[in-house]
A and B are shown apart, each in its own frame.
Chain A
Amino acid sequence: MLMLGLGILMFIEFYVDVPDSFLDVTKSLQNFVMIISAFAMALGGITLLGHHGKSVMDKKPGQWFYSLWLLVVMFGFILVGVSAGTSGTQYTWLFNQFFRPIDMTIYSLIGWLVVYAIYFTFRARNPETTFLIIIALFTLAGNAPIGSAIWPPIAGIKSWLGTVPNTAALRGFTMASMLGSIVISLRTLAGMERAALGG
């Protein structure tokens, strides 16, 4: 009932010309959500603390050292962030040395793996995958500056591929998936889907 009531309020605010006092109420409610979301950010940290704390306490072989290091890093960030502020050079240094390079590199690993995956899986096994591969090859050639340098019309072809076939198919996909998503959302707001409430 709470979800449905709040949902109806937000819909009225968007679609109906409402007085300023109504807008003040909805503004405050939206700000409440920002504060609640901030609390929700702590949930992951507490879960990690529980899981890895247990690993350290139980001295789980092959894991406890890594769990201890994880907790040291986590509390280090919290300590420096709270005491010196996140805009300070100390926190920025920690972020740039202990989070950023790892996050970026793990993500860049996908680049290496994708190249191998493309080589191994892009095999023209049937007419549809052949069509997919041809489109991909034209896109690759159009994206690389050297492609336009060798054959100038490729840029126009790639642009056409983006604005006509890709647009058409994605629009169809987006509309269909949005219809499904809206139905699920309305069911959740009406209380028919309980999973979102955490059990």
Chain B
Amino acid sequence: MKLNEKGKTTIMDKLADIPEQYIYAILAVILIVPLIKPIGLPIPITGDTIKFFDAIDALEPGDTVFFAYDALSMTWMEQGLGTMIVMKHLLLKPGIRVVGASSSNQGPPFWEECMNSIGGISSYGKEYGKDVVYLGYLAGGETMEAAIARDIANTVNVDSYGNPLSELDLMSEVNSVDDFALMICLSSGWSFGGWMDQWVVPYGIGEYVIPLAGVASDIWPLMEAGLIESMIAGSRGAAEYEILLKSPGRAAAGMDAQSLGHIYVAILIIVGNVAYFATRLKGED
């Protein structure tokens, strides 16, 4: 830190070089307080979330949805909220069936967590094998995605629990991408791209993505090009979806902390730059 002619640091010098422990401590307070005592700030709904919601709402009884369940523990913290509320919406819709599969090896434990968190399939009057099937983790990346797009039964014999697919009623009615009304992709990182290349480009099925907010910037160009139909990005998208479904939960509750955290980061940027320019001007004098 630069010293002035009296051998001391000015306030601007200190603001240009705040120790990291202070930054962490203030961040902790700013996030913890609204978590314990929510402020109740409004959450405007964006067009992308409405489009995603309307697509699920427009499904007819008998439609089957493919859920590419590429969960990872490191990204579940943000995506789990959106996944659970979308899964809840799917299960609430009468007559809608869901087939899930994961290209990430952490998918199975998070499928269980999602189902347990929303109360289980049976609490929605649905039955495993008839309304919901989970194929589990399938190795092979895009090769697997291309293979099951064409023929699931020829690629996979059993589901995640070891049940032969031939014994599951739902799998006698769906076997390829043509049998699904749409696909939803819980995208760990950029895994939505693989499903897009192997399911959307060759077969034209609509893909709806649940990405991290950071990855959403990569999805906008694809939405503009018509390759991805819509997305609910990050915890903000999940909060908006919870409000649309009239089922506010953890995502909506965490939005106050998100708001204050964003303001804090913006203030840090502004303070850092003001102090930077002040110290630079002082140095040029």
Q: What residues of chain A have their CB less than 8 Å away from a CB belonging to chain B?
A: 14, 23, 27, 30-31, 33-35, 37-38, 41, 85-87, 92, 95-96, 99-100, 103-104, 106-108, 112, 115-116, 118-120, 122-124, 133, 136-137, 140-141, 143-149, 152, 155, 159, 162-163, 166-167, 170-171, 174
CB atoms of B220 and A167 under 8 A apart: yes
Given A30-B143, A104-B73, A155-B46, are A87 and B108 neighbors across the interface (CB < 8 Å)?
yes
CB atoms of B24 and A112 under 8 A apart: yes
CB atoms of B262 and A140 under 8 A apart: yes
Given A41-B139, A116-B20, are A170 and B218 neighbors across the interface (CB < 8 Å)?
yes
15 new A-B pairs (CB below 8 Å) besides A159-B47, A162-B216, A162-B220?
A: A30-B146, A30-B147, A95-B109, A96-B109, A100-B73, A104-B76, A112-B27, A115-B265, A119-B271, A137-B269, A144-B258, A145-B41, A145-B42, A147-B262, A170-B220
Set of chain B residues within 8 Å of A31, measured between Cβ atoms: 147, 154-155
CB atoms of B154 and A107 under 8 A apart: no
- B266 interface hit (Cβ, 8 Å): yes
CB atoms of A103 and B269 under 8 A apart: no
- Of B77, B255, B270, chain A has the most CB atoms within 10 Å of the CB of B77
Docked Cα-Cα span, A163 to B220, in Å, equals 6
Set of chain B residues within 8 Å of A123, measured between Cβ atoms: 272-273, 276
Given A87-B112, A145-B43, are A27 and B262 neighbors across the interface (CB < 8 Å)?
no
Given A27-B151, A37-B139, A167-B224, are A104 and B74 neighbors across the interface (CB < 8 Å)?
yes
Set of chain A residues within 8 Å of B255, measured between Cβ atoms: 145
Docked Cα-Cα span, A141 to B262, in Å, equals 7
Set of chain B residues within 8 Å of A162, measured between Cβ atoms: 216-217, 220
A-B CB contacts (within 8 Å), total count: 159
CB atoms of B24 and A155 under 8 A apart: no
- The residue in chain A whose Cβ has the minimal distance to the Cβ of B267 is A119
Set of chain A residues within 8 Å of B44, measured between Cβ atoms: 145, 148-149, 152, 155
Q: Identify whether the interface residues of A are mostly helix, strand, loop, or mixed.
A: helix
Given A31-B155, A124-B276, A145-B255, are A37 and B141 neighbors across the interface (CB < 8 Å)?
yes
CB atoms of B273 and A137 under 8 A apart: no
B48 to chain A, nearest CB (A): 9
- B62 interface hit (Cβ, 8 Å): no
Set of chain B residues within 8 Å of A99, measured between Cβ atoms: 73
Docked Cα-Cα span, A163 to B146, in Å, equals 30
Docked Cα-Cα span, A75 to B108, in Å, equals 20
- The residue in chain A whose Cβ has the minimal distance to the Cβ of B110 is A100
CB atoms of A34 and B144 under 8 A apart: yes
